[in-house]
Amino acid sequence: MAQEKRVVFRSRWLPWLLLAPQAAVIGVFFFWPAAQALLQSFQQQDAFGLSTEWVGLANFEALWADASYLDSFKTTALFSLLVAGLGLSISLLLAVMANRVLRGAGIYKTLLIWPYAVAPAIAGVLWLFMFAPSIGIVAYGLRALGLDWNHLLDADHAMTLIVLAAVWKQISYNFLFFLAGLQSIPRSLIEAAAIDGASPWRRFWDVTFPLLSPTSFFLLVINIVYAFFDTFGIVDAATQGGPGKETAILVYKVYHDGFKSLDLGGSAAQSVVLMAIVITLTVLQFRFVEKKVNY
């Protein structure tokens, strides 16, 4: 696909006019705040918000020295690995099965993609309801099995809750992409492998999975970004970062420190760190996709 159009229109003023709305919106609501975040991360405001002083990298140093920030980092890392790992495996399994059945594939697809429409916050509420220690139906079932479920007290339970809610929501998205990826593998390749003597298990690992790797890598990055950011609603609805701070993922901490604790400098510094992580992940993904082989 050409990166440039060979044939263009000639006009002096029209393109500027067409670009103006978007340029205005992203200028005011994106670049200006992003620049502000950058600026504020190097500043510190006093308690009354009356004066600001330049403190250089002090906010960043404070972050790295802050145990709760490092904990939040660990929590977020664990959370995103669990969400990505579970989410991708389950979706891949479902996609492979859906690719195999001829009858009913359409119905399964419809029934599996609707969770995409559910807001993360609502997902959080639903799973909270099911796992509520005293009235939740699943909590009840777990207790009947001998497990005393209480995510309000147990950090692992809390983490499990938000991981489950996050994975549940993301299954549809991953499923759709895996299915599309599977369907783009030419049938003759699978047939050739069958004639070469490969069992379905070997065919999957030797041919299908390697050819699915661009999709898998793409989804891995998307899922990690999802776990970092889009899950705010889940955390706020289900655990509010608790118990204590055990499930305060990084984005939650930014919100909490900025709007509850009013630590603007620290919050801005955290935002900048998050920005750096996202940019790195996105660049990595684009590089890999560019190198993606054209079979």
Partner 1 sequence: MAAISIRKLFKRYGHGAKAVQVIHGVDAEVHDGEFVVIVGPSGCGKSTLLRMVAGLEEVSEGEIAIGARVVNDVEPADRDIAMVFQNYALYPHMSVAENMAYGLKLRKMPKAEIDERVQRAARILELGHLLARKPRELSGGQRQRVAMGRAIVRDPQVFLFDEPLSNLDAKLRVQTRLEIQKLHRELGVTSLFVTHDQVEAMTLAQRIIVMNGGRIEQIGTPEAVYGQPASTFVASFIGSPAMNLLPGRQQGGQFHIDGAALDVPPGVEGDLTLGLRPEHAQLADRGWPMRVEMLEMLGAERLVYGKLGNATPFTLRLDATLPAPQPGEQLHLAFRPEHLHRFDAKTGQRL
Partner 2 sequence: MVERKPWLDWLAHAILLLGVAVVAFPLYVTFVAATQTAEAIVHAPMPLLPGGHLLDNMATALGGGAGAGSGAPVARMMWVSLVTAMVIAVGKIAISLLSAFAIVYFRFPLRQFFFWAIFVTLMLPVEVRIGPTYQVVADLHMLNSFAGLTVPLIASATATFLFRQFFLTVPDELVEASRIDGASPLRFFKDVLLPLSRTSIAALFVIQFIYGWNQYLWPLLVTTDESMYPVVIGIKRMISGGEAANDWNIVMATALLAMLPPALVVILMQRWFVKGLVDTEK
Q: Which residues in the 195-234 window bind partner 2 by CB under 8 A?
A: 200, 218, 222, 225, 229-230, 232-233
12 secondary structure, DSSP code: S
Task: Confirm if 217 and 225 have CB atoms less than 8 A apart.
Answer: no
Dist CA 151 CA 153 (whole Å): 5
Q: Which is nearer to partner 1, 23 or 180 (CB)?
A: 180
Binding mask 7-26 for partner 2 (x = CB under 8 A): xxxxxx-xxx-xx-xxx-xx
Tell me the C-alpha distance between 211 and 223, whole Å.
Answer: 20
**CB of 164 closer than 8 Å to CB of 127:** yes
* CA pair distance 261, 243, nearest whole angstrom: 18
What residues contact 18, with CB distance under 8 A and at least 6 apart?
none
Q: How far apart are CA 141 and CA 49, in angstroms?
A: 51
Q: What residues between 244 and 273 interact with partner 2 by CB under 8 A?
A: 251, 254-255, 258-259, 264, 267-268, 271
Q: Which stretch binds partner 1 (CB under 8 A): 5-13, 82-90, 119-127, 183-191?
A: 183-191
114, interface contact from partner 2, partner 1, none, CB < 5-8 Å by kind: partner 2
Q: Give, as one character, the DSSP assignment of residue 199.
A: -
CA atoms of 175 and 192, how far apart (whole Å): 26
Choose which of 186, 279, 284, 287 interacts with partner 2 (CB under 8 A).
279
- 155 interacts with partner 2 by CB under 8 A: no
64 binds partner 2 (CB under 8 A): no
Q: Kindly state whether residue 202 participates in binding partner 1, applying the rule CB under 8 A.
A: yes
Q: Does 147 bind partner 2 (CB under 8 A)?
A: no
Q: Which one among 51, 188, 290, 291 touches partner 1, defined by CB under 8 A?
A: 188
The residue from 55, 78, 118, 220 that contacts partner 2 (CB under 8 A) is 118
Specify the pairing of strand 43-45 against strand 52-54. antiparallel
Q: Which residues bind partner 1 (CB under 8 A)?
A: 186, 188-189, 191-199, 202, 206-207, 210-211, 213, 293-295
